[in-house]
Amino acid sequence: MKENINLSNLPKHIAVIMDGNGRWAKKQGAMRIFGHHHGIKSVRETVEGCVELGVKYLTLYTFSTENWNRPKLEVEGIMQLLIKTIGEEVPDLNKNNVRLKAIGDLDSLPKSARKTLQDSIDLTKNNTGLTLTLALSYSGKWEIVEVTKKIAQQVKSGALAIENITEEVFASFLATEKAPDVDLMIRTGGDHRISNYLLWQLAYAELYFMDDLYWPEFRKQHLFGAIYEYQQRERRFGKTSEQLPSVKV
Ligand code: IPE
Ligand code: IPE
Ligand code: MG
């Protein structure tokens, strides 16, 4: 699969909704948290796949604002797993020149998770390869409200005039900062929805839903398959097919 990928037409930004951990675990007759644990290997493979190809931005939906409503035991299990995994993975991320980031309402995370996360972000901040962003206690609506508050503040203080609020200015306040909009969004687990993820950044993303695969089963070959499929699509951005530059083979 990897050989079929055109390296000059890679998605600049890939976003993933890593869904189906609980159902995968249930299928094995295990507790839901078992599925979350097994999802770590899939994360590692996805990161490695992006590093191998030279993808610049990967954003993973790790825990949504709405996920706080899950049973307390599951939420605690996920938070513990997060701390342990970041601690274990960061040396490899660093070796692979990966820059770690996080978006979301990070103040709502347990203190120990925040600390591990911040230490890892600091350690990798000068890396120049893949930017790996974890969406944690994140939702797209939350982010848009945060941007609105920041813009309102600037207008109030006189730093920004209302007529100067453009799409570019708005986007510059997003949590994803300098990352380009998402080109390819992958969701495992069979549901065809975006579940409050990156609402602004997904505006023109190609959506790739995997119906028969739970997140713990996701491997590099699936990432390469998704990228290959992305490259077969015609991205018209509102234009007609005839207006697009002809593809050189
Ligand atoms: C995704 O898997 C992981 C998180 C939301 C944290 P789920 O836990 O949602 O698994 P399903 O969708 O219930 O199978
Ligand atoms: C989306 O999965 C959030 C993450 C993968 C972290 P959910 O399992 O929470 O999504 P819904 O509730 O089924 O839409
Ligand atoms: Mg789910």
Query: Ligand 3 (ion): which residues have CB within 5 A?
Result: 19
Per the CB < 8 A criterion, the answer to whether 114 and 84 are in contact is: no
Active-site residue, from 4, 6, 67, 127: 67
Per the CB < 8 A criterion, the answer to whether 175 and 105 are in contact is: no
Q: Is residue 138 part of a domain?
A: yes
- pLDDT of 237 higher than 80: yes
> Best mutation site among 17, 18, 21 for ligand 1, i.e. most ligand atoms within 8 A of its Cβ?
21
How confident is residue 168, by pLDDT bands cut at 50, 70 and 90?
A: very high
Residue 63 Cβ contacting ligand 1 at under 6 Å = yes
The per-residue pLDDT of the chain, averaged, comes to 97
Q: How far is CA 179 from CA 20, 150, 192, in A?
A: 27, 19, 25
Q: Is residue 240 part of a domain?
A: no
The pLDDT value given to residue 160: 98
Per the CB < 8 A criterion, the answer to whether 209 and 86 are in contact is: no
Per the CB < 8 A criterion, the answer to whether 17 and 188 are in contact is: yes
The pLDDT value given to residue 246: 76
Q: Is residue 221 part of a domain?
A: yes
Model pTM?
0.97
**Non-local CB neighbours of 146 within 8 Å, separated by 6+ positions:** 173, 175
Q: Tally the domains of the chain.
A: 1
Per the CB < 8 A criterion, the answer to whether 15 and 186 are in contact is: yes
Judged by its nearest atom, the ligand closest to the C-alpha of residue 64 is 2
- pLDDT of 57 higher than 90: yes
How confident is residue 248, by pLDDT bands cut at 50, 70 and 90?
A: low
Q: Is residue 238 part of a domain?
A: no
Q: Is residue 116 part of a domain?
A: yes
Measured CA to CA, the distance from residue 229 to residue 212 in angstroms comes to 16
Residue 208 Cβ contacting ligand 1 at under 6 Å = no
Q: Is residue 93 part of a domain?
A: yes
Q: Is residue 237 part of a domain?
A: no
What's the CATH number where 13 sits?
Answer: 3.40.1180.10
Domain limits at 65?
2-232
CA 224 – ligand 2 centroid, Å: 23
Q: Is residue 107 part of a domain?
A: yes
> Best mutation site among 16, 17, 103, 185 for ligand 2, i.e. most ligand atoms within 8 A of its Cβ?
17
By C-alpha distance, which of 205, 222, 200, 204 is closest to 213? 222
The pLDDT value given to residue 247: 60
- pLDDT of 103 higher than 90: yes
